[in-house]
Structures are given as C-alpha cells and as structure tokens.
Structure 1
Amino acid sequence: MIKIIVVGDALVSSENMEKAAYMLHLNDEIEVEKFEWFSELSKDEFQKKILLIERSGSEKVPIPDGILELLPDADYLLVHLAPVSQTMIRAGTNLKMIGVSRGGLENINIQEAAKHNIPVIHVIRNAVPVAEFTLGLILAETRNIAKSHYSIKTGGWEKEFSNAFYKTTLSNLTVGLVGLGNIGKLLVEYLQALKIEVQAYDPFVSEEELMRENITVKKVSLQEIFENSDIVSLHTRLTEETTGMINKDLLFLMKKNAYLINTARAKLVNKVDLLEVLQNKKIAGAALDVFWTEPIPVNDPFLKLDNVTLTAHIAGDTVDAIARSPYLLKNVMNDYFAAGFSKMIIH
C-alpha cells in the first residue's frame, strides 16, 4: 500500500490533488489522506498568505493542522502553496518524494529535503499563460497599446509617446531572454513564429538539452543580452544569487531604444537602478507585471513614469492554470517514474 498525503488550499482543491494522486503510476494500491491549508479563505484573503510565504518561507507560517501525526507513514507528499517545513520533513521518515504543483519553491524547505535525500519535483503550472502574457506586454509597451487606452479613457487622443523615435515592427527587433526554463522556451517558440530574432542566456541549460527539445536559439553571455538586444525579457528564478542581478552595470549597457520586460520576480532587478535609467530615458521603456511591494504603493515613483506599462501580477492568472496544476504535476511525476530522472528535481 502506497500512502500519499495531499494538501489543498484556497486556489487548488484537495479534491483535485486527490484525483491526481490516484493517477500516479506507482504499481501498487494507493491510499490518499487529504488536508487543508486555509482553504476556507477567499482569493483576496489567501493572497495575504501567499505574500507571507513568498517573503518568509516555509518556517514562518502555520503548517496544516494534524499533518504531523500522519507524515511518518506517508510515502509521498503533494502540496500547492502549503508549507513543507523542517519539522514536517523530519516527521516524514518514509517520504520518497515531495511534489509541488507550482513553479516557485518558497514554501518548501529545500535544504532540509536535500539533507534527507528527498527529491522535490515541481511544475510550471502557468508556463503557457505567462509566455503569452509576456508577448502581450512586449506588444503593449513597444506599440503603446496600454498608454493609448489610458489616454482615451482620461479624455485625450494622444498619438505621440516617449518612444516615438523607436517605434517599429517586432520583426525588426532582437529579443534577449534571461532564462530558458519552461516559460523561456515557450516564448522562443512564439517569438520565432513571428520571425523575431531571439538570443538567450541561461548557464544551466545545455546545448544538448535544447537539441533534444528541438529548440534552436543563439546562446550568448548575460552582458551580450543587454548590449545587443532591443528587448530584454526576464524568465529566471529568484535565488540568493539572482537577487538584484539586473543592476546598473547591465542596465547601462542597454541601447537607448531598448525595453526591459519582467514577468518573473521584481527582486531580480535593482529597483533604484531601473528607476534611474527610466527617469533619465536611458532606455525606451519597460513593462512590469511584478513589483517590489505588492500592491504597488500609491506614492511609488514608477506610477509617475510615462515610459512603463504596469500590470498587477496577473501574467499567470487564467481560470484553468492554477486549479488544474495537480494534473500537470502528476504528468511530471509519472515521467520521473518512467525515466528515473527529471529536470524538475531539486536536489
């Protein structure tokens, strides 16, 4: 008998987690125990829990009630945003794997899992929505779609914007991607379908991996991305090493007609440095779906800029992406069981 614990929350139901668990290819009878983590909250109320766990990690939030008593007998633990803390991992003496139905791992004590040789598999639940949204932001900022809309809604009929001297079709531009994970790879496909030249930086993705996935993209250094791209789009994870990596040293390399797009994490970018290059028109503009403080404060200086497009962290927000994420996780775990390895594993 294989014992699986699933933890639902306000965004992903324990019922969907349970159904996905029963679809795992484990070659034995499966028994599932369900737990809840603030499942009773509204989406707006639950957003506060999300912000808390993203800022503070797995050790600063309450764990699911009653879970510690059953963890010693569990073989697999599947969660969405619920924390998997040091205490939980130490209690799970038989755990063979932790599955997370989201891309971010702020809610998992990765270091503790590694100490106990427990693989952690996660899934980019919203890769397609984010890749599509990123393409939309590129168009919105370079062609002033949002700015024109705002002008009309506020009584104007503006036709000239801060990037007036740089407007052109996307096929004339080169896009540089920082990060070639699931989202970055999808965006390569979308951009190349539009005949747009793409180059990318990702030290963790090999040429062999790209060849296996039939992805043809020019790999260059991070410095070359910022020096040579007309549009730089960020798609890398936030870690201690990547926090603030996009700073003045890189931003000042950008062309005067270039744009920065960020649908990843705000803290990848040094806020003061980006504000400086935008205020001084060192680059043509930026489009941001993520911010250093969310919601963005009413006095935030970015709200006064005329060369940015701002959206409220909605790139991955579609009706199906989050709710059905356990089934994506199930697919990735089954791939692991079949092949014995997975690029999704964090050691």
Structure 2
Amino acid sequence: MIIKALVKNPEFKQRIAEKLNHSNIQVEFVNTQEPIIPQIQDSEILINSIDKIDKSLIDSCPNLRLVQQSGIGVDSIDIDYCTERGIYVANVPMANAISVAEHTFLLILYLTKNIKLNSFSSSSNSGSFVRRMPDHMGIELSGKTMLVLGLGVTGIEVAKRAKAFGMKVIAVTKHPYTKTEGGDKKYFVDRLFGVDKLLEVLPIADIVSIHTPLNNETENMINKKELELMKKSAYLINVARAPVVNHEALLDSLREKIIAGAAVDVFWNEPADQNDALLQLDNFLLTPHIAGWTYEAIDSISDIIRINIERMMRGQIPLTLVNRLD
C-alpha cells in the first residue's frame, strides 16, 4: 500500500517511521512547504496531523482507502464524504488523554495562582531576583467545584486529578445513562448530568473544563448566556476545540470581568494572530495546541496508527474506526 503522512513535528515523524519500519511498512512524509495535492494523489492511506481533509483533497486521491487522524478530533475531516466514497476514517481516541489532562491542570494552576499577574522583579545591577509580596492573591483548589464538560477518556482523567486536589467534581456529558454503573469510583465524579442540565450546573462551578468534540451540537455551546451564568470568580479552561466557545462572548466576559479568567490550548485560527484582542488581556492565557504532544503520547499514537495500517493491509478494518461503510 502507498502510505503518505501529513506530519510536521520531527519527533512524531521519527516515531511513526520507526514503528512502521519495524513492521516492514514504508511511509513517505509529505513536504509541507510544497503543494500538498500533487504529493498525495496516489495515496491509499493518508496519515494526517496538520491538514483539512475536505472534498477537494479527497477527490484528488482516487485510490484512498483510509484517512488516519493522529489525534482524537476528526472535525477537520469530511467524514460524510469519506463514507460516501468508501473511505475509512480512524482516529486515536485514548493515547494522549493523560498528557491533555496534565496540561489542563497546568492551565488551571497558572490561572488560579495568578502567575501571569504576579512576577518577581529583577535587579538590573546583580541579575538576581528580589522577592516581594504578591499584588494578586491566588486560590486553593481544595474544596472547589470543577465542572467537566464531556466525560470521555480525557474528561475522566481530568476528573481523577481533580479528586486528587480535593475538589468536588460534577460532569455534563451527552449520554450520562451509560455512565451510571460504578459512580464515583469508576468516573471520579460526585454528580453526573445530561446536556439538558448545563445551564443549571454552570452557576455551581468554580472551574469549567471543556473536553467535548467539536460538532454541530457543541459549536458555540459556551456563549454569552452560559458565561453570564458562571460565577464572577470562576475560570474557564478549553483544551478541546476553540469553537466550542464563542470568541466574542468570551472576549466580552473577560473584559467586563463577568468571569475571573480563561485559559485555552486551542484557538479559533491557528496559529493565533498575535493582535487578537484576547491575547492582550491579563486574565487570558493561551498555549499553542501542545497539550497532547508528549513523548509518551506520540509513542502510543504511533502504535495505534501502526496497528490500524497493519489491519488494513490484512483486509481488516481499523480498530479505532469513526465511520461505518455499509
């Protein structure tokens, strides 16, 4: 099979190549500085971590049989058209959950300890740092309430860590009735709600952490009304997809101190425009979509990609399929 990879990260390239070469599978990495389509037209399997897989790109690959996304999110892929064309789409649903959960708490702690607003002043003469009392007090997480939006694999890992901090954890998820067995011991939540209860539970939370996929149901799920329902002292965290939150509504809520702050690892246009008004605010923090990029995560991701490709070469379907071909 002809396998092409749309990958920029050099460490990720190396791990994919090593894993596939170990199974005697050859992969060609696309030069992202050159036009993409001429390089991938003969692809049968396309590994994607950077590009939008739309109708025009799909039509340019008449032999395409599998689009293998390198992460959990598949909103950049036209899944319906892939299905219509008889092309499998697979993702990597669990490999970076721990990495993303850990990054979530990096963002939470950065906000709640007011690290951005407090700093050490340096001495220009000695180059040493002079300790001073903080201008802005932080808060403890212990005893606070976290609302997890989306109790999938990553959401559960976040809830687990919130419990370790002594937090009360509530969650809103699409199918709560599938997560009733086991309760707190299994999902690390004190109470579980359906999406219909979102407006009721937002005023309870001190931290709202988003872990939902992006689709028609979740786009702009957090908008002006939702933000106004949150506590003035509450913080919003988004490591999922930027359009789950309405940009203008978030900007207004932070400017007007309707909520205390927000931190995100995803942006509406990436890389973010440095002139974006959000980036000028003291109560907003952005990291450049790096939550899932750890050595451990890319190793696991590469393993799943290898397994799915091996299955395709044996005439089997991928293990992590997101569409069905009838």
TM-score normalized by the length of structure 1: 0.72
User: Partner amino acid for 2:37?
Assistant: I
- Report the CA distance shift for 1:10/1:277 in structure 2 as closer, same or farther (over 3 A): closer
On the 8 A contact 2:227/2:253 being kept in 1, the answer is yes
The answer as to 2:158 corresponding to 1:187 is yes
- Report the CA distance shift for 1:249/1:325 in structure 2 as closer, same or farther (over 3 A): same
Q: Which residue pairs with 1:121 in the alignment?
A: 90
Counterpart secondary structure, 1:274: helix
Aligned positions of 1:256-271 closer than 5 A: 256-271=232-247
CA distance in 2, matches of 1:246, 1:153: 40
On the 8 A contact 1:17/1:78 being kept in 2, the answer is no
How big is the alpha-carbon RMSD for the aligned residues of Structure 1 and Structure 2? 3.8
Q: Deviations over 1:182-228 (max 9, x none)?
A: 32121112112222211111215652497599324222232234121
% identical aligned pairs: 31
User: Where does structure 1 differ by over 6 angstroms across 4 or more consecutive aligned residues?
Assistant: 332-337
Q: Deviations over 1:263-320 (max 9, x none)?
A: 2222221222112222222222222333334454454333443333343433234355
CA distance in 2, matches of 1:81, 1:294: 11
Q: Which residue pairs with 1:110 in the alignment?
A: 79
Q: Which residue pairs with 1:214 in the alignment?
A: 186
1:175, CA displacement in angstroms? 0.4
CA distance in 1, matches of 2:198, 2:22: 41
Q: Which residue pairs with 2:249 in the alignment?
A: 273
Please, which runs of 5 or more residues in structure 1 have no aligned partner? 25-30, 42-48, 50-60
User: Partner amino acid for 1:7?
Assistant: A
CA distance in 2, matches of 1:14, 1:296: 24
Counterpart secondary structure, 2:121: helix
The answer as to 2:11 corresponding to 1:9 is no
1:249, CA displacement in angstroms? 1.0
Q: Which residue pairs with 1:99 in the alignment?
A: 68
2:100 to 99, 124, 130: 130
Q: Deviations over 1:94-153 (max 9, x none)?
A: x3x44222223355331222114443211145322221111111111112133323x536
CA distance in 1, matches of 2:4, 2:181: 34
Structure 1, 137-146 or 83-92: larger mean CA deviation: 83-92
Q: Which residue pairs with 2:41 in the alignment?
A: 68
The number of aligned residues is 306
1:86 to 47, 51, 58: 58
Structure 1, 135-144 or 124-133: larger mean CA deviation: 124-133
- Report the CA distance shift for 1:122/1:132 in structure 2 as closer, same or farther (over 3 A): same
The answer as to 2:113 corresponding to 1:143 is yes
Counterpart secondary structure, 1:183: helix
Please, which runs of 5 or more residues in structure 2 have no aligned partner? 124-129
